[in-house]
């Protein structure tokens, strides 16, 4: 099973999302930033490392927001989604086309990577918003 981490970073009611580079898995889709755990890594450490590598920022990893299994093309994935705070560094996407700060109502206008629909659904429930059908 492949373990994956993602960060929910909120500022002023908007969430940080990153657009995957075109051509790969979920190419061009938007996602909450994160990545795969390396052997022997704890999820919190992996999340800090991934955001430093991929976006050039340092974060403070908070509470676990959501954990869920996901299957994609014969791969078993286990997602760990954490609340996080942006501590320092200027965002410079390395493995992404671009990043944007989006409100929950705006996110539905962007194509999301499939697992990220579950994260958005849970955020909308937490904020008592209607969850649109996909």
- Compute CA distances 72 → 1, 92, 104, 133, whole Å: 11, 29, 25, 21
Asked if the model's pLDDT at residue 134 lies above 70, the reply is no
pLDDT tens column, 77-125: 999 999 999 999 999 999 899 999 999 989 989 999 889 999 999 998 8
Predicted TM-score (pTM) of this structure:
0.90
What is residue 129's predicted lDDT score, i.e. its pLDDT?
A: 58
Domains and CATH numbers, the chain: 2-126 (3.90.79.10)
pLDDT of 132 over the 60 cut? no
Tokens at 78, concatenated = 């286990």
pLDDT tens for 61-74 read: 999 999 999 998 88
What is the rounded distance in angstroms from the CA atom of residue 16 to the CA atom of residue 110?
13
Tell me how far apart the alpha carbons of residues 29 and 21 are, in angstroms, rounded to a whole number: 8
Give pLDDT, residue 27: 81
Number of H helices, E strands in the chain: 3, 7
> Which residues are CB-neighbours of 23 under 8 A, at least 6 positions away?
none
Three-state DSSP class for residue 21: coil
pLDDT tens digits for range 12-62: 999 999 999 988 777 889 999 999 999 999 999 999 999 999 999 999 999
pLDDT for residue 73: 81
């Amino acid at each position: 099973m492949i373990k994956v981490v993602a960060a929910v970073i909120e500022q002023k009611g908007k969430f940080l999302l990153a657009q995957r580079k075109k051509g790969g898995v979920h190419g061009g889709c938007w996602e909450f930033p994160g990545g795969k755990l390396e052997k022997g890594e704890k999820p919190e450490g992996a999340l800090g490392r991934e955001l430093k590598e991929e976006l050039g920022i340092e974060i403070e990893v908070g509470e676990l927001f959501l954990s869920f299994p996901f299957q994609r093309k014969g791969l078993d994935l286990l997602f760990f989604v954490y609340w996080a705070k942006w501590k320092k560094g200027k965002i410079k996407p390395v493995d992404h086309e671009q990043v944007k700060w989006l409100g929950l109502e705006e996110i539905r206008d962007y194509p999301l990577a499939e697992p990220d629909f579950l994260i958005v659904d849970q955020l909308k429930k937490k904020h008592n918003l209607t969850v649109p059908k996909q």
